[in-house]
Every structure is written in structure tokens, then in C-alpha cells.
Amino acid sequence: MKTRTAASTPRSAGITLTEILISILILGVGLVSLATLFPIGLLRLREAQRQTRSAYLFESATADTAARGLLNANSFTYADLLNPLVPWSYWYVQPSGRYDPLTQDTALYGHDPLTPPTTFPGPGANNSFLGGGYGLPFAYDPLWRYQTVNPATGNQGIYLDPSLQSGTPEARFASGIYSLRPEGDGFPASAHGLQRLTNFNTPGVMPSANWVPNIFVSPEDVVWQESTNPNYTVAFSVTAAQPGGIPVGTPSTVVPDLSITYNTTPTPATPTYQPISDWRFSWMLTAQQTNGSNGASFAGNIVVFENRQFAYDPTTNKAAGETVVEAIFGAGKSLVKSPNMPSYYYAAGSDRTVLLRWPAVAVGNIPNSPQSDPVVKVGDWIADVTYERAQNQVNTRFYFNTATPTPPLQGAQNPLNKLEWDNLPAQRCFWYQVQKVTPAQADPAMGTLGYRSMTVYVNQMLDAKTLLDRNGNPVYQNAALICPYVVNVIPQTFFVR
């Protein structure tokens, strides 16, 4: 008789604890991987929406610029003719003479605190071209002008005549830094900001200016909120006892607020009702005449914004949301001397490298310091807004070498680029998209003085570079605008007929 041993006893099938844990691990990895697809998908949808909307807005901006003659010099003159008749009330005229803002800059226009570094008064000293060349780069930005109100007077918009300046200060586009050189040589940076132009006068003076909010924005898809919705903003029951209506709640946080506001100004006896506009996407132009003596052609960019701020910061004399820092375009350590300008250098292998630098502590001779670390992400846009206001300063810094030999040689040639003058023009507005960003840190060259910096790599070769000294520091400070609200920058050539 055979005896059954314990080893031969059949075992019941089952799952061990180890197998269960492994299964949970695999399931968890799969769920986590699946969950990561949702935020990525939302980001892709958001980016697709932004690109689609900017494409539509680009087509609208191109058509409006041409159809409305926004860059026609005569339209600027007409807008200023609507000002009250006072001496020198024309766009091209001021007490020291007649000037064209598309080719000349002047310290007497607007409230720009940065005066041009020149001993020659009057607009003639700021002529941007000598017998030809490009016009001045400018920012055509009527919507910013329209939306910003002078808190002292309550006036909306701006008079084009400087003697009647009653709206917001000019707050030149992308201005705000002075010299950052530790030597303190007294030379201001090439960062005076672009003229912020508009040929729309104040709405009270120029009725067509009331259409500005409908021209430079892209209205969102219309989603009406029902009057019975408990989140509706205001239920209007206008009476003498309650002229403002009866508030019954707050607007929805999901759909656009298309409610009606009650306006009692300027005459409370005749109330008016105005819809609230949700300006998610808006646009402006940065451009310049392709020929300073011929205003028929402009080269520039249509700049599309998302959720752009419309406010003026009196402490910095800048528009809110426009951060300006020092920039070294073409930063690097491997330096090559310019053959005809012995004191000027270029960095090798730096065709797409930009060093951004800012004071992290209060510096006595630098306004608006200290600055916090700017937010720069991959996909953001920065602009080279190096801008000299006075042509004689441009000549001194960038064009002429007064030393031997005679006659003097012109320009700083770059031996790395077929002896081109890569530092020019000295008045420019070039846009670049960021492809890579290094973390902000104490600046190696000026860290002991309390400066921080970061390096960004852009999507194309730099159109202009910063002149460097033998130590790799900038000879003259250039400037970069950081504006996280920029969605897209689309190059465009405009023709004025």
C-alpha cells in the first residue's frame, strides 16, 4: 500500500502577495501615464487656440492697417487738427520747429523722463537718417492709449499735441534702464524706448476714437448670460432713486462677462449703457519706414497679446507688464577683435545667445532697482529694443572712429561674419522666440555688485549684436523687453497708398 506524502499533496491555485503588489505597480504606472496626458492635452489645446486666434487677428490687423491708413502720415496730422486751436497744435509742429515722429525723435513730446544725450536742442539733433536710411522704429499702440486713464483728470486717451497732454504719460514702449556699468561713466544705456504712436485723438475730441476698442482686439466667441441667471451682473431697474440699477450677483467665471454697465458721466441726467468687453486677444504694431525719406513702405511686426495689461506704473514710468533689462546679444567668452575698431570685440559661436542681466539690489544711479527675477519660459518672446534717441550719439558710438588712420574708418566689422557691421542698427526693435533658458543666478561678471542674470537661446540668428570690450562686457548697454503676454509675432510689410 502506497502512502501519500505531504510533497505529493495537490496545492490549490492562488495569487501571491508579491504578484498583487507587482500588478498594483503596473496599474499605477499606467494610470499615472494616462493622467499626464490630460494636462498635456489641455496645454496643446490652449496653444492651438492661441495660434488659431492669432492667425485670425493677424489677418484682421493687416486689413485694418491698410484699409484705415493707420500708418499714413496725413492721418496723424488730421488727428491733431482736431485739438483746440492753440499755438503749435499740429502733430508735426512744436515751438522749436517742425518734426516727423516717424523719422525724428524729440524730448519735448510726451512725458518721457529720459532725455536724449545731446547738447543740440530741438528735433533736428534727433534726425534718424542722414541723406537716407531707415526711419525710426516705433510702437503703434492706440489701444494702450485708449484704455489707460489719467487718474488726476479722468481723461481717457491722449492728445497728440504735447502742450495739451491730458491723458496718460507717453510711457515709451520698452524703456526703463540706465547705465549698468560698474565704472559709472555717466553714459546712459541705449534703451530710451520706442515712441508709442497713435493717430487717434481722445474720444471726446475725435469721435472715431470710440471705435478703437473694436479695431485692435479679437472679440471672444459670444456666449450670452441669461438675464435670469443668478450670476448675472446687474438687473437694470433705472429709477431716480436707484439710477445705477440693482446688482443681483456676480458674473460667471466660465463664460465671458457680456453684461451692461451704467455710465452717469459726463451728464447723469442722460444715462448711457455700455457693454463690458472681454479683450482676451489684442494687437499692436512695431515697425519703421524702410526708407527714411519715403513714407510709402514700412517693415515690422504685428504683435499679438493674450490677457495684456492696460495700466501705467508711475513709480517706473512704464506700462505695466513691460519688463526691460540689460541684454548682451551675442554673449560669449571666445572673443574676436574687430579689425578696424581695435577696442571692439565680438563673441564667437554666439549667434543665438542672449545674456539677460538686471540689478537685484538697490543701485543709486539706476532707477527702478532692485528688480525681481523676470519670468522667461520656453516659447516666450523677447525683443531687442536697443534704441538711441539722438543720431549724433549713434554716430559717436557706432559709426565713426576718429582716431588714425585718416580718413576715419566706419563701423565695427565682424571678422566672423564677412566683416559685416553686426552691431547695427543702433535704433531697432527685433523680436525673438525663446527656445532654451538657463536658471537665474548671480551674474559672474557683476555678481559682487548685486546683479543677477540668465542666458536664453533664441529661435533664429541675431539680427544685431552687442559690442564687447576685451573682457566680454558690453561697451554700450543694450536692452531687451520681456513681455509674457505676447502670443505671436508675425513679420509683415505695409504699404501706404
For 288-320, what is each residue's pLDDT tens digit? Answer: 998 877 888 999 999 999 888 888 777 777 788
Supply the pLDDT for residue 461. Answer: 94
**What is the rounded distance in angstroms from the CA atom of residue 369 to the CA atom of residue 233?**
41
Looking at per-residue pLDDT, the higher value among 430 and 393 belongs to: 430
Supply the pLDDT for residue 401. Answer: 57
Fill in the amino acid letter for 134.
Y
Which range has the worst mean pLDDT, 20-24, 61-65, 175-179, 385-389? Answer: 175-179
Residue 277 DSSP symbol: P
Within the chain, what is the greatest distance between any pair of CA atoms?
Answer: 131
Domain ranges within the chain, ordered by starting residue? 62-211+280-495
- Give me the mean pLDDT over the 189-197 stretch: 82
Which range has the worst mean pLDDT, 277-281, 296-300, 420-424? Answer: 277-281
For the record, the C-alpha cell of 453 comes out as 542674470
The average confidence (pLDDT) of the chain is: 75
pLDDT in tens, 159-169: 666 555 555 66
Q: How confident is the model at residue 151 (pLDDT cuts 50, 70, 90)?
A: low
Most confident of 24-28, 41-45, 386-390, 397-401: 24-28
**What is the rounded distance in angstroms from the CA atom of residue 197 to the CA atom of residue 173?**
10
Q: In sequence order, what are the beta bridge partners of 323?
A: 482
Q: CB of 376 within 8 A of CB of 436?
A: no
In terms of DSSP bridges, do strands 451-458 and 430-437 run parallel, antiparallel, or are they unpaired? Answer: antiparallel
**What is the rounded distance in angstroms from the CA atom of residue 288 to the CA atom of residue 298?**
5
Residue 192 to residues 325, 399, 454, Cα–Cα distance (Å)? 12, 19, 22
Which range has the worst mean pLDDT, 52-66, 197-211, 462-476? Answer: 197-211
Q: Which SS3 state, helix, strand or coil, does residue 357 take?
A: strand
Supply the pLDDT for residue 114. Answer: 45
CB atoms within 10 A of CB 142: 24
Q: CB of 277 within 8 A of CB of 129?
A: no
**What is the rounded distance in angstroms from the CA atom of residue 243 to the CA atom of residue 263?**
10
- Backbone angles phi and psi of 265, in degrees to 5: -100, 150
In terms of DSSP bridges, do strands 318-319 and 323-329 run parallel, antiparallel, or are they unpaired? Answer: unpaired
Looking at per-residue pLDDT, the higher value among 107 and 21 belongs to: 21
Supply the pLDDT for residue 12. Answer: 60
Q: CB of 380 within 8 A of CB of 433?
A: yes
Q: Is residue 264's pLDDT more than 80?
A: no
- Give me the mean pLDDT over the 424-437 stretch: 92
Q: How confident is the model at residue 229 (pLDDT cuts 50, 70, 90)?
A: low
CB atoms within 10 A of CB 62: 14
Fill in the amino acid letter for 385.
V
Looking at per-residue pLDDT, the higher value among 147 and 5 belongs to: 147
**What is the rounded distance in angstroms from the CA atom of residue 236 to the CA atom of residue 86?**
43
Supply the pLDDT for residue 109. Answer: 45
Write out the H or E segment, with its range, that includes residue 66.
helix 17-67
Fill in the amino acid letter for 475.
V
Supply the pLDDT for residue 73. Answer: 83
Q: In sequence order, what are the beta bridge partners of 181?
A: none
Percent of the chain with pLDDT over 90: 20
Supply the pLDDT for residue 274. Answer: 54
Q: Is residue 154's pLDDT more than 80?
A: no
CB atoms within 10 A of CB 258: 17
**What is the rounded distance in angstroms from the CA atom of residue 103 to the CA atom of residue 57?**
28
For the record, the C-alpha cell of 380 comes out as 516666450
In terms of DSSP bridges, do strands 97-98 and 294-306 run parallel, antiparallel, or are they unpaired? Answer: unpaired
Supply the pLDDT for residue 25. Answer: 87
* pTM of the model as a whole: 0.79
Q: In sequence order, what are the beta bridge partners of 200?
A: none
Looking at per-residue pLDDT, the higher value among 268 and 361 belongs to: 361
Looking at per-residue pLDDT, the higher value among 185 and 282 belongs to: 282
pLDDT in tens, 230-248: 544 444 444 444 444 444 4
